[in-house]
Amino acid sequence: MPQARGASPPGPGTLPPGRALVTGAAGGLGRALVAEFRHRGWHVLATDLQATAGVDAALDVTNPHATQRLAQEFRPTVWVNNAGVLAAGDAATQPMAEVERAVQVNFLGVVYGTRAAVEVMRPAGGGVVLTVASLAAFTPAPGEAVYAATKHAVRAFILATAAEQRGTGMRFHLLCPDGMATPMLEDRVDDPTAAASFSGRRLLDPTRVATLGVDLVERRRTHTVRSVPRSRGALIRTFGGSSRVFLTVSPLFLRRGRAAQQRLRARSGG
């Protein structure tokens, strides 16, 4: 397959370009992943709920039959579980429709996509599943309880699936970024329940996160869990590893997040 203009040839020990399917590709990190794969010479099928500009095919990741059918038609060598929704709100009063949607997209969408990918790739000798989770996969997130729970579930599912598929040629990578400067989060700058996602030093550049994600795919490792940034990931794992520490420190993180939201509103004139 020819290299995209400006792309570097794969280095020794790296996976050569093949066929990548990306879910949730209409904007944000999904769009950045599509651009990075194509830059490196991959043939990419960009999917989202609707086939809008920049999207090659419509795919509702909560529909297991549609997901399976598209995997069999496209025959990817890499499947990227990227589609997700934030669903911030008080867990006790959050509308049930939002709760169900978060579980369906964030967790079941990953289950269905991974199963469809394994079904196609394993008989062909193997392939790669890259799943975008979040640093919320390692710690509870007040105001984002349901969201964090879905990301915890995703981490457990991918790790267990990786263990089950050892020796089959399947490889699984989990990308866990902090809050990113994407519409999904920028639209929540006025929402105090989403403060946890703004508590990092700054919102991440999705282009940089996409580069790290494609790096994971191209390196011939069996399994990787990659926090972005690493230092914040180490802090979050410590923070979420003890209920006493979490309950003591979480108000500080929320105040920091709300202060960041206020600064962003001031910059935008809001």
Catalytic residues: 147
CB 196 within 8 A of CB 139: no
Q: Give residue 124's identity as a one-letter amino acid code.
A: A
Per-position DSSP letters for 197-216, written without gaps between them: GG-SSSPBPHHHHHHHHHHH
Phi, psi of 262 (to 5 degrees): -65, -40
Q: Which residues pair with 20 in a beta bridge?
A: 44, 78
What tokens were used for 166?
A: 């050892």
| CA–CA separation, 112 and 100 (whole Å) | 16
Helix (H) or strand (E) holding 224: strand 223-228
* Side-chain half-sphere exposure of 126, counting CA atoms within 13 A: 15
Q: Residue 191: helix, strand or coil by DSSP?
A: coil
Reduced DSSP (H G I as helix, E B as strand, rest coil) percent helix, strand, coil of the chain, to 5: 50, 15, 35
